[in-house]
Structure 1
Amino acid sequence: MKTKMKMKTKMCGLWSLPEEVAMKCLALPQISRADLAALAIASKEHRSLIVSPDYRLLRFQMRCLEPNIYVWLHILPEPTPQWFILNPVHRRLKPIHLKPDKAPPESSSAFVLRSFGVFVIGGLVNGKPTSDVSFFDCFDHTWHPLPPMKMPRASASANMINRKMYVLGGCGDVADSSNWAEVFDLDTQTWEFLSVTSSTTMKIPLSIQQSVLMRQKNEVYAVGEDGQSFSFSPSDKSISNGVADSKPGYRTEWCWIGGFLFCGSTRGKILWCSPYELNWTEVKGLDELSEYDISQICRKSEKTKNIVAFWNSSSLGSDTLELWSAEISLELRHPHELWGKIEWSGPVFKLDPLSHSYGIKLLYAASIYA
């Protein structure tokens, strides 16, 4: 009579510990994202633990997630943009290969950072506004579709306040006080229109050029297509006039750093101002950038006041188009005098001269913890 031998697998290493303890060990700040990737390749068990929502939440709560610069580029004439991550060691943009259910917008989307990802709201698809909304998870690099907005929107403003996402403008000539704004509740996963009132005689702006969330007052400060600034208060659903821009002209998306607003401009200028004043002043000490137009700036991380700037550049004597980046540290030497020091600069992406690509359009850049 044959007897069946039952083989027992001896547990060792992390798997000899309770799952809760093993998870906390892997969530320690000493464990880098590269280490986690190596573990995921080496062991299916480790991978299943690392990609679990519980592990991600634990690492987020322990503040062990690492800041990475994510960039959304449109390589023309490709039909759709693509996500890249800025490698902190090689200082090059590494493409993230995704297969979304549908093509993402080509441009004019609004973006909202949330924990370890970013919401992409509206935008243009085949030249027409879309109501699509998606969440790009920067931890496992996946797209997650969300319920669409009630109105197709492009060049709108979007900001998150108390687990609600407020989207303003971008719905064209059909906009009125009843549909100009809508709000998405993260808990119920539903959209609702907001009936907006004006505390002044100002006209509702159709498109939003810039916007930023002023956290002290939990209100949105923005600039319409005519250059006039305004504020929106979700608490009373009202908009009111703001101050006029002291130096109207080309501006990149506003960036909130250390209590000040920052933006990029032409001839390598990075501008800053105090909130609600829009009295823009140039960051001094950046003369070597004067040949370029800054296309985007973002904060390097929450722990530093350094900023990262991007711009397009053509190599000398070559038709090759490159995307350059610079990390800039900031120093306030006087209440009205801010100096910048370029800690590093160089090309982070280069178009292949043998390809059919002819342009690089940077749509969005942000530091995201993942």
Structure 2
Amino acid sequence: MLVHSMQKTNSKPLPNPKPKPKPKPKPNHISGWFSPCFRPYRIPKSSNYHMVSVSTRKFSHWTWWTCAAIGSTIYTVGKYIYGGISSRVFFLDCRSHTWHEAPSIQMTPKYPLMSVIDGKIYVVEGLNVPDSSDSMKVFDLKKQIWEHLPCPRAEIFGKSYILRSLAIDGKLYLFGDKNMVYKVDENKWDVVGLETRVSWAFSDFSCVIDNIMYNYILSRKLQWYDSKGILWRDLKGLEELPKMPKSCTRVRMVNHGGKIALLWDKKVRGFDSNEKNIWCAVFAVERRSEQEVYGKLEWCEVVLKVPKSCCLLEFLAVDV
């Protein structure tokens, strides 16, 4: 956020005025990892936890990009604002806060979707899948190479689109107008029917912990997916959690070291208030039976105050 300072001066001009310094360029909202509104604005004094900005080396801008966190790094694939679609891949070292370039993906995805299974990144082209020859690539982190993974989606369904990819229990699910699952250990593809209700969860406000998917829904509830019963069940034990937003689009959820971390925004009270608070809550989860999973709230506080024009986009957890 830019802060302009003003200083009183004499009304008479100075005899030898110094040349005016050139104005500093305004920061671009995608030149760093955080949006300008998340640069230090106001942190509540009573909070024990703070959201702070981290300056990183600038890199080329993306109009569409998707991210995946592995260990202490964040990989991103997307396309440029200038120069059309690109196959270049970058990753952020969260320990040194520097961007680096990884081997190119050997395809030019317009709307890439990323998932991580056993130290490998699976990238599939979202929306339209023209054919099966280049629909999916796999990046081996140890070998630092991209490999092709044949996908029979186009052969089985013809022209189709993908809205989301999901990695859970060693399997890669592709959800769209038609659904498929890739079983990594068996190197086998299967068609998934409507009985898999896990497709109802969206990536921004859901996460997977110990092969159990958790999701935030419109009724201000957190639920977990019972794969045996093929249904969603309410997560119990979170009565101390503050009242959450009605809209799930204002909530972000992530697996934070085996615990659930929630991030959401809430407008500051006041008729003419132009600010809102960013809340964060962390709680552990425990499965007590086949039909019951409980959450234990560890802490929940306001971590930052921002202008009301700000919105939450990406929320990733890394090990540093």
Same fold? TM cut 0.5? yes
| CA displacement, residues 139-190 of structure 1 (integer Å, 9 cap, x when unaligned) | 21111111222233355333345554321222x4353111111123445544
Give yes or no for contact 1:197–1:237 (8 Å, CA) kept in 2: no
Aligned to 2:89: 133
CA shift, 1:326, in A, is 0.9
SS at match of 2:59: coil
Q: What does residue range 162-181 of structure 1 map to in structure 2 within 5 Å? A: 164-170=120-126, 172-173=127-128, 175-181=130-136
For 1:318-329, what aligned pairs fall within 5 Å after superposition? Answer: 318-329=273-284
* 2:231 is aligned with 1:262: no
Between the aligned partners of 1:242 and 1:116, the Cα distance in structure 2 is 33
**RMSD of Structure 2 on Structure 1 (CA):** 3.7
Where does residue 52 of structure 1 map in the other structure? Answer: none
Q: Is the 8 A contact 2:78 2:109 kept in 1?
A: yes
- Alignment map for 1:185-224 (pairs within 5 Å): 185-198=140-153, 201-202=156-157, 205-215=160-170, 219-224=171-176
Deviates more, 1:330-339 or 1:314-323: 330-339
Structure 2: distance between partners of 1:159 and 1:268:
27
1:47-81 Cα shifts (integer Å, max 9, x gaps): xxxxxxxxxxxxxxxxxxxxxxxxxxxxx993456
1:299 paired with 2:255, answer yes
Q: Which residue number corresponds to residue 20 of structure 2?
A: none
**Percent identity, aligned pairs only?**
21
Instruction: Give the whole-Å Cα distance in 2 for the aligned partners of 1:279 and 1:107.
Output: 33
Tell me if 1:159 matches 2:159: no
SS in 1 for 2:278: strand
Deviation of the 1:198 alpha carbon? 5.0
Work out the CA distance in 2 between the residues paired with 1:154 and 1:102: 16
Larger proportion of helix = 1
The within-5 A match list for 1:78-157 is: 78-80=29-31, 82-83=33-34, 90-103=48-61, 105=62, 107-111=64-68, 113-122=69-78, 125=81, 130-153=86-109, 155-157=111-113
Q: In the alignment, which of 232, 235, 250 is matched to residue 283 of structure 1? A: 235
Secondary structure of 2:29's aligned partner: coil
What is the distance in 2 between the residues matched to 1:153 and 1:340? Answer: 39
Cα displacement (A) at 1:96: 0.5
Task: Report how far residue 231 of structure 1 moved.
Answer: 0.7
User: Gapped runs of 5+ residues in structure 2?
Assistant: 1-26
Q: Taking structure 1 as reference, are residues 298 and 153 closer, same or farther at Cα in structure 2, changes over 3 Å only?
A: same
Aligned length: 277
Q: 1: CA distance between counterparts of 2:235 and 2:301?
A: 20
Once the two structures are superposed, residues 190-213 of structure 1 have per-residue CA deviations (whole angstroms, 9 ceiling, x without a partner) of: 434333225994457533324114
User: Taking structure 1 as reference, are residues 108 and 262 closer, same or farther at Cα in structure 2, changes over 3 Å only?
Assistant: farther
Query: Displacement, 1:314?
Result: 1.0
In 1, the alpha carbon distance for the partners of 2:154 and 2:214 equals 28
Structure 1 residue runs of 5 or longer lacking an equivalent are: 1-75
Q: CA distance change for structure 1 residues 100 and 207 in 2, over 3 Å: closer, same or farther?
A: farther
Give the alignment's TM-score, normalised by structure 1: 0.62
